[in-house]
């Protein structure tokens, strides 16, 4: 069930923000930088009404938000109209808080679980404090002038408790008394992608009170995701996290080599990573870089097509696919990676073992695919059924079919 917008609800864009920095954004026209031009490396600029910024509030269900029922949103295009037209669906209110925000050794503040979390279980689920388009942050980061009124009144429209939470988040580039710039730096330090919103083609980001307290690791134990229907971010365990352990997500593409990861983290977040993957000896780091570069090949290839070609090409070795993807799985273990890439690896192995009519291998990797899918999205994507009876898939026995000259086969994916 979706929550309808109350008939008497008055959104913020109808009012000027309180305080000395107040401005009626509904009547203001700004030169708003659009997404960076990839070829020229500069921001395109528009003065059209379509990209006039609107500060509004998105009502969300009472059980969804512990502080109040509003999410402050800097909206462009038709985002406000689309969100108000469809409303926000409540999520399962039964998820209890099983973590605490606390001081952690060497990392300042972090998030620690207060009981065991199995792979796929929800650790944190919350609505954001504030939502803003990614291109606005990118423009500010690139030194392109962005109206301060875009962020200042948005923060002012948080209630007192949420404003305190926002201002208390980490700022990786603090200034000496420039309050407006500090607000931007808090936003840039903590903003996490939520993808696109209906009514605007660009990407959006969100800042959370608790999720933004989670520290980075190049070998994380949790995965962040966004659910548009309930307007919430969530963090799920990607492997077993025991009571008292800290939760980590990755802030960057962690498949890159050590030097690239460190440079990106230093430039964006102003810290040097000392996670287990970055604390290896120089010789071990070089080996780690090679392993991670091998994993990146998966994303540059088409694993399903490779497996399907092997199924029907009897000139290829019988164990070609299994050896290749078991090697990838071994690298994932060595690098302590537990992200969605496991789904691709496990899927290829399920396909291969099924094609060879090897039940136990297919069941084992279907269970792994289920675990990885739950961690990534909270859904098993049909892997439970495959783990029970892999012989019922369309992949079953395809490698064992007789070679028929000129014949073609159709493979149905799950």
Residues 385-399: pLDDT tens digits? Answer: 999 999 999 999 999
Domain end position, chosen among 203, 222, 249:
249
222 found inside a domain: yes
355 found inside a domain: yes
DSSP string spanning 312-356? H-TTS-TTHHHHHHHHHHHHHHHTT--STHHHHHHHHHHHHHHHT
104's CB contacts (< 8 A; 6+ apart) are: 110, 112, 215, 246
For residue 42, the 8-state DSSP code is S
279 found inside a domain: no
pLDDT at 3: 35
**CA-CA distance, 97 to 228, in Å (whole number)?**
21
**CA-CA distance, 130 to 211, in Å (whole number)?**
13
171's CB contacts (< 8 A; 6+ apart) are: 182, 185, 186, 189
Instruction: Provide the pLDDT confidence category of residue 153 given band limits of 50, 70 and 90.
Output: confident
Instruction: Provide the pLDDT confidence category of residue 209 given band limits of 50, 70 and 90.
Output: very high
pLDDT at residue 254 tops 80: yes
Asked if residue 164 and residue 17 are part of one domain, the reply reads yes
Domain end position, chosen among 249, 268, 294:
249
167 found inside a domain: yes
For residue 241, the 8-state DSSP code is B
The domain containing residue 182 runs over which residues?
12-249
346 found inside a domain: yes
Asked if residue 357 and residue 217 are part of one domain, the reply reads no
260 found inside a domain: no
Supply 18's token pair: 């309180």
Query: Domain with 163 in it: what CATH number?
Result: 2.170.270.10
Asked if residue 391 and residue 304 are part of one domain, the reply reads yes
340 found inside a domain: yes
Proportion of the chain above pLDDT 90, given as a percent = 49
Asked if residue 245 and residue 348 are part of one domain, the reply reads no
Longest CA–CA separation in the chain, Å:
80
269 found inside a domain: no
Asked if residue 80 and residue 26 are part of one domain, the reply reads yes
Asked if residue 228 and residue 289 are part of one domain, the reply reads no
Total domains in the fold of the chain: 2
Asked if residue 224 and residue 301 are part of one domain, the reply reads no
Asked if residue 348 and residue 203 are part of one domain, the reply reads no
Average pLDDT taken over every residue of the chain: 80
Asked if residue 200 and residue 332 are part of one domain, the reply reads no
Asked if residue 64 and residue 131 are part of one domain, the reply reads yes
pLDDT at residue 15 tops 50: no
pLDDT tens across 80-135, in order? 888 777 777 766 545 578 999 999 887 789 999 999 999 899 999 988 999 988 88
Instruction: Provide the pLDDT confidence category of residue 37 given band limits of 50, 70 and 90.
Output: very low
Contact at 8 Å (CB) between 291 and 331?
yes
């Amino acid at each position: 069930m979706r929550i309808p917008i109350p008939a008497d609800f008055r959104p913020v864009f109808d009012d000027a923000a309180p305080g000395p920095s107040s401005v009626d954004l509904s009547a203001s026209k700004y030169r708003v930088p659009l997404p960076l031009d990839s070829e020229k490396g500069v921001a395109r600029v528009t003065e059209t009404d379509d990209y006039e910024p609107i500060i509004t509030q998105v009502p969300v269900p009472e059980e969804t938000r512990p502080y109040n029922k509003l999410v402050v949103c800097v909206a462009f295009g038709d985002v406000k109209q689309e969100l108000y037209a469809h409303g926000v669906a409540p999520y399962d209110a039964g998820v209890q808080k099983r973590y605490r925000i606390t001081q952690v050794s060497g990392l300042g503040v972090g998030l620690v679980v207060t009981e065991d979390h199995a792979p796929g279980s929800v650790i944190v689920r919350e609505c954001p404090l504030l939502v803003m388009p990614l291109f606005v942050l990118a423009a500010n980061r690139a030194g392109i002038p962005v109206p301060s009124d875009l962020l200042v009144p948005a923060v002012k429209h948080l209630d007192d408790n949420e404003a305190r939470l926002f201002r208390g988040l980490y700022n990786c580039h603090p200034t000496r008394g420039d309050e407006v710039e500090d607000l931007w730096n808090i936003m840039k330090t903590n903003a996490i992608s939520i993808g696109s919103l209906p009514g605007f083609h660009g990407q959006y980001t969100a800042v959370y009170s608790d999720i933004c307290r989670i520290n980075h690791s190049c070998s994380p134990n949790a995965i962040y995701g966004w659910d548009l229907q309930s307007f919430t971010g969530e963090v799920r365990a990607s492997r077993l996290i025991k009571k008292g352990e800290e939760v980590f997500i990755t802030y960057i593409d962690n498949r890159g080599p050590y030097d690239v990861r460190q440079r990106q983290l230093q430039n964006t977040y102003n810290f040097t990573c000392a996670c287990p993957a970055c604390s290896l000896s120089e010789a071990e780091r070089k080996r780690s870089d090679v392993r991670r570069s091998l994993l990146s090949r998966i994303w540059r290839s088409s694993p399903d097509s490779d497996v399907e070609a092997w199924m029907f090409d009897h000139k290829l070795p019988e164990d070609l696919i299994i050896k290749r993807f078991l090697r990838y799985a071994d690298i994932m273990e060595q690098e302590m990676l537990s992200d969605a890439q496991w789904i691709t690896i496990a899927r290829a192995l399920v396909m291969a073992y099924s094609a060879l009519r090897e039940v136990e291998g297919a069941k084992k990797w279907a269970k792994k695919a289920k675990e990885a899918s739950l961690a990534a999205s909270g859904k098993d994507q049909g892997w439970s059924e495959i783990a029970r009876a892999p012989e019922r898939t369309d992949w079953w026995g395809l490698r064992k079919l007789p070679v028929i000259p000129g014949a073609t086969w159709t493979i149905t994916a799950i």
